[in-house]
Amino acid sequence: MDQLMASSALWAMHPTFLAAALKQSGVEALLPDALRAFAGSLSGQQAAKPADPIREGSTFIMPITGMLAPRGLGGSTYYDTIADRVREAAADPKIGAIILPFRSPGGYVWGCSEAGDAIFEARDAKPVIAIADPYCFSAAYWLATQGSAFFCTPSGEVGSVGVRSGHIDMSGFEDKIGMKTTLIASSPDKIAGNSHAPLDDDHRADVQAGVDESNATFAAAIARGRGLKVGDVAAVHGTGKTFSAPRALANGAIDGISTLRDLVAKYNTGRARLSLMRRQAAAREMAAAI
């Protein structure tokens, strides 16, 4: 993950995790390949491998872990993999419920909406239960709110709703080392926001517009998934803060506090699945009548 490219991307990720990821990518970019691999082996840092889905009776359990990304960018779990597996499970008549345990700080905005749509659409076929196990932030939270129900482990934490981007200005550093970069392009727009000059007001406005647009999509997704008006999303789910399980439950951001083990036992019965689907259908009818 190139730090300059990554810093200007649209992110829906917990700020502490994002800062660590960007810092790590910046340090790694300065190292030769061999030294980078050696340093990684000494620190025990290995490429994160997504946990494989498992079957528990008629319940399909698909862990969603690490940084979320579209395929082709660095991440632990790819959005298209989430969407494909959820759709396959929704279409499988032998699967009665889908449980999505989240252990993710979030990730890129790119690809998140599409994966969220797949989760939301799967609700028409069978219950899709999300659980923060133990944390679910930003883009992961976006996905989790698209399920039929959303839980959190007793010691867990959720939230960090919002989108951010950024810009790195390398011009001062280049001046100090006697370096001058000249960019030549077909149009000023092709080099707008480059790292070799300060960010001008016009491009800053463009970046802000992209952040605002993505954040509006984020809020609309939460409203759809949780059966709220868009204007009520911030009061319930926050605008960047994180919440402990008890606080999230008190706000109405989640449906309950449970361990993953207890949740699997609860929804691995036909009666529980039928009851949830009936409540879900009633909620849709009520929303349509508003």
Cβ-proximal residues to 118 (8 Å cutoff; 6+ apart), any chain: 82, 83, 84, 86, 87
Share of the chain above pLDDT 90, in %: 54
DSSP state of 129: E
Query: pLDDT (tens digit, 9 = 90+) per residue, 142-193?
Result: 999 999 999 999 999 999 999 998 777 777 787 788 888 887 878 877 777 7
User: What pLDDT digit, counting tens, does each position of 80-120 carry?
Assistant: 999 999 999 999 999 999 999 999 999 999 999 999 999 99
Task: Say what the pTM is.
Answer: 0.82
Question: Dihedral, CA atoms, 79, 81, 83, 87, nearest 10 degrees?
Answer: 180
Higher per-residue confidence, 270 vs 199: 199
User: What pLDDT, in 10s, does the model give residues 202-244?
Assistant: 887 888 899 999 999 999 999 999 999 999 999 999 999 999 9
Q: Across residues 194-208, what is the average pLDDT?
A: 80
| Whole-angstrom distance, CA of residue 194 vs CA of residue 105 | 28
